[in-house]
Amino acid sequence: MGLPRGRLFWPLLLLAAVSSGILVALYSSAVELHLGPRTGARNTTSSSQAFFGPKASNSRTRKNLLCQHPLSLAVQRDPRFRNLFNLSTPVLLSGDVFTQQLWDSLSQHKAPYGWQGLSHQAIASTLSLLNSSESARLFAVPRELLPGCIRCAVVGNGGILNGSRQGQNIDAHDYVFRLNGAVIKGFENDVGTKISFYGFTVNTMKNSLISYSNVGFTSVPQGQNLHYIFIPSDIRDYVMLRSTILGVPVPEGTDKGDRPQTYFGPDSSVSKFKLLHPDFISYLTERFLKSKLINTKFGDLYMPSTGALMLLTALHTCDQVSAYGFITSNYQKFSDHYFDRMKKPLIFYANHDLSLEATLWRDLHKAGILWLYQR
C-alpha cells in the first residue's frame, strides 16, 4: 500500500481513529416513543428549536401534518442537496436482504463499503441473527406509527462543547446519538446525559477505552433503552456483533477471547444491535464525503469519521437534526475534545477528511437541513 511504516505512524493513526475528528457522543437514556404531546424545555433562543421553528401541534394524525419543518422539505428546496440526498436509501443491513446477489455485489468492495476478502461464513452467520423486523429500522416502532417530528441530537466529541452548557438542550431531543469516547460523567452540563444510540467500530471503541480511560471513559455506555450502531469497517465488527448476540466470547481474530457483555452489558436482545449497511456507507462517501484523499496513497485508509457517519445516519432517519460537538470553521479556538485536560490542537490525519466534513456541516446548516452548534 506504500504506507509509511515508521514506529510513530501507527500509534498516530490509532489516535486519529479514536478521535475520529472531533466528534463523538455518549450515554444513557431511552429511545422514547412520543405517542402523545411532547414535553421539554425548548424555548432557548439560538437553540435548535428556534432554528427549526415552533413545534407543530400534537394531534394524533399523520406525521407530515404534524412536522412543519422536516429536513426533507429543506432538502427538496435546496438545488444542490436535492440531488445528493436519497432519503429512501436503506440505512441498516438486516438478515432478510442477504441473498447471493447481495453477496456478489458487496464482494466487489472492501470494507467498510463491502465484503471483499471477508469470510462468507462469518458474514452469513452474523446476518442470519439479524432476522427480526427491528433489525431493519433504527427506531423501535415503524416510522409511520410515530407521529410528529422526530428530533435528534448527534453529539460529537469536539472541544467546542467544553463550557457550552448545552446539556439540557441536547437532552430535550427525542433521541440522542453519541459515539466513540463519549464521556458524560463530569460533563453533564455541557453534553447532557441522554443516550439513545452509541455508534462505533470495534476498533474505535476499543481505542477509546484505552486512550480516554484517564478522563473517565472506562466503559462503553450501557442502558436498557440504548441501542448500538455497529459500523462494519472490518471483519472484526461482524464477528463481534455475532458473538454479542449469541452471548459468547469472540472465537477468532483480533478480538479473540473478548467477552462482549463487558462492553454492551448482559442484555443481548437482537433488537439492541444495529448494523450500518455497507451500501449506505458507499452512498454517503460518494455523494457527501468524496475526499481527494481517496486518490492518494492513503486512499485505502480513508473513510468518513464515526461522527460523520452518525450525523448522516440521523439525517436519513430523523425529521430534525441538531449537531453538537462537530467541527466548525473556528475549530482552532477549541481543544480536540471537550474532555481534554489541557488544550490540544485538533490534528488532521489521512484516514478522515475533517476539512471536507466541516464544509459539509456548514453547508447543511446554511441550507436549513441541520442545525450546527457554533460559538
Ligand X SMILES: *[C@@H]1O[C@H](CO)[C@@H](O)[C@H](O)[C@H]1NC(C)=O
Contact residues for ligand X (CB under 6 A)?
41, 43, 86, 88-89, 128, 131-132, 159, 162-163, 335, 340, 342-343
Q: Least CB distance from residue 78 to ligand X, whole Å?
A: 15
Phi, psi of 54 (to 5 degrees): -65, 150
Q: Which residue is nearest to ligand X (CB)?
A: 163
Smallest separation (angstroms) from ligand X to the CB of 5: 32
322: enclosing H helix or E strand: strand 320-324
In the bound state with ligand X, the residue whose beta carbon lies nearer, of 105 and 359, is: 105
Q: Nearer to ligand X by C-beta: 108 or 295?
A: 108
Q: How far apart are the first and last CA of the chain?
A: 41
Contact 327, 346 (CB under 8 A): yes
| Whole-number Å distance between alpha carbons of 156 and 177 | 9
Cβ–Cβ under 8 Å, residues 251 and 268: no
Nearer to ligand X, 162 or 222 (CB): 162
Q: Is 240 helix (H, G, I), strand (E, B) or coil?
A: helix
Give backbone dihedrals phi and psi of 191, rounded to 5 degrees, phi first.
-120, -5
Nearer to ligand X, 128 or 218 (CB): 128
- Specify whether the CB–CB gap between 310 and 140 falls below 8 A: no
Indicate left, alpha or beta for 4 from its phi (over 0: left) and psi (-120 to 50: alpha): beta
Least gap, CB of 60 to ligand X (angstroms): 25
Instruction: Give the nearest distance from C-beta 310 to ligand X in angstroms.
Output: 21
Instruction: Write out the H or E segment, with its range, that includes residue 287.
Output: helix 278-287
| Cell numbers found for residue 118 | 471477508
Output 11 or 54, the one with its CB closest to ligand X.
54
CB 344 → ligand X: shortest distance, Å?
A: 7
Residue 211 Cβ, how far from ligand X at the closest point, in Å? 15
85 versus 349: smaller Cβ distance to ligand X: 85
